[in-house]
Amino acid sequence: MSQHPDWFRRADAAILQHLSAERPTYVALVANRLGMPTDYAQRRMDRLVEDDLVEPVSAEVVYRITRRGEQRLAAYTDREGTPEPGLVAGN
């Protein structure tokens, strides 16, 4: 049984990994770096915000990972390994 919520995807872990390693950035840049469609990355980012794993840091909607997001990412990578870039929608 997974220790992650049912809604949490590999793509979410990849987004958290990217935000953990980079400065706050726009969702379009995250999508580009991870090989995701921008609209899919935006939906995943919105879900991560809902669960307080990332937060917007400006009116231009630049995101960064939260402490809770760091903890979720650590739990994910301990169990699943580091998420790979180039993910597709649904992962």
- On whether residue 65 sits in a domain, the answer given is no
Categorize the per-residue pLDDT at 6 as very low, low, confident or very high, splitting at 50, 70 and 90: confident
- On whether residue 91 sits in a domain, the answer given is no
How far from chain centre, in Å, is Cα 87? Answer: 12
Total-model pTM: 0.69
Question: Domain total for the chain?
Answer: 1
- On whether residue 29 sits in a domain, the answer given is yes
- On whether residue 47 sits in a domain, the answer given is yes
Whichever domain contains 35, its CATH number is 1.10.10
The vertex-59 CA angle with 58 and 64, nearest 5°, equals: 30
| Angle, helices 38-50/27-34, rounded to nearest 10 degrees | 120
Query: Tens of pLDDT along 23-74?
Result: 899 999 999 999 999 999 999 999 999 999 999 998 888 889 999 999 999 9
Cα–Cα distance for residue pair 12/81, rounded to 1 Å = 13
Cα–Cα distance for residue pair 36/73, rounded to 1 Å = 19
